[in-house]
Amino acid sequence: MKISRLIPFFLLAAGILIFPVAFSCPQQRQEGGDFNNFAAFREARMKLPERDDSFYPVAVEEIMLSRNFVQEGSFSQYRLVQSRKYDLDRDGVQESYILRDGSVTVKDGSRIIWQSEDDWWVDYLFLGDANNDGVLELNLLVWKEGSFGPYKPFWVEEEDLSVKNHLFIFKLEKGNFKPVWQSSNLAHPNYRAALSDIDGDGENELVAFEGSYTDPKQTEVTLWKWNGWGFTRIDLDLAEQIGQKGSFKPAVGTH
């Protein structure tokens, strides 16, 4: 089977999510809430049914390829619950990573060592080495108001304050989480994403299942590679040529 057919299966079977580039989009509403107001966005998300990602079906290739999953069971139709255990700081003790109601809590035993911001809605978390530095990170797909954090680039005169999707990457060092990379507004909301050495070159690629801010049925699978300061998109045709030797096992952080 060609890589272009395998990637969607890999994404869905692993229960995964996604990433693109910064852009602005018309102000509007979607199934998940109001793009102009985070409180309204969160309220709409909280009304969705809860779904534990441990119950994802395994045999989903035909569902994904026929597009029925996206049309009938859109990722925006439920609130995802996730629970992971991993020793991210390599101190010999596994931390607990829990996503519920759009909020991520990290515990070291019974002690909470980190929680996501109150003005974020986290759709999905996955663990893996995104920047290929040999250290695994916590990767989050986040909805928030504003393109940037507390400080915007000096060349930006007006910031887009609508609610958009972002990819945030954090590393855990000595009990503290530090940001590695935080994207501005993504061109397309990321439904699922995963890290895997697709082409067998010893470095991870970011496999992303992208959607649309305006059309929940519009989807695309894309590949991205860390370039030192962010991600560069890899042509799927190229991936098909070099990926025959690759592995579709997620780096870490799935089931």
- The whole-angstrom separation of Cα 241 and Cα 193 is 21
Total number of domains constituting the chain: 1
In a domain, 254, yes or no: no
Angle at 189 between CA 215 and CA 255, to 5 degrees: 115
pTM for the structure as a whole: 0.78
In a domain, 193, yes or no: yes
Please state, in angstroms and as integers, the Cα–Cα distance from residue 32 to each residue in 63, 74, 142, 176, 244, following that order. Answer: 23, 10, 13, 32, 37
Q: Spell out the per-residue pLDDT of the chain, length 255, in tens.
A: 444 444 544 444 444 443 443 333 333 444 456 678 999 999 999 999 998 887 654 333 333 333 444 444 456 678 999 999 999 999 999 999 999 999 999 999 999 999 999 999 999 999 999 999 999 999 999 999 876 555 554 444 555 668 999 999 999 998 899 999 999 889 999 888 888 887 888 999 998 888 888 887 788 878 899 999 899 998 866 555 444 544 445 555 443
Q: Is the dihedral of CA 112, 88, 251, 195 positive or negative?
A: positive
- The whole-angstrom separation of Cα 4 and Cα 35 is 32
Q: Where are the alpha helices (DSSP H) in the chain?
A: 3-14, 38-46, 61-65, 68-72, 236-242
Tokens matching residue 209: 């299942």
In a domain, 24, yes or no: yes
In a domain, 252, yes or no: no
Q: Note down the domain range covering 159.
A: 3-245
- The whole-angstrom separation of Cα 89 and Cα 248 is 25
- The whole-angstrom separation of Cα 90 and Cα 127 is 14
- The whole-angstrom separation of Cα 40 and Cα 18 is 23
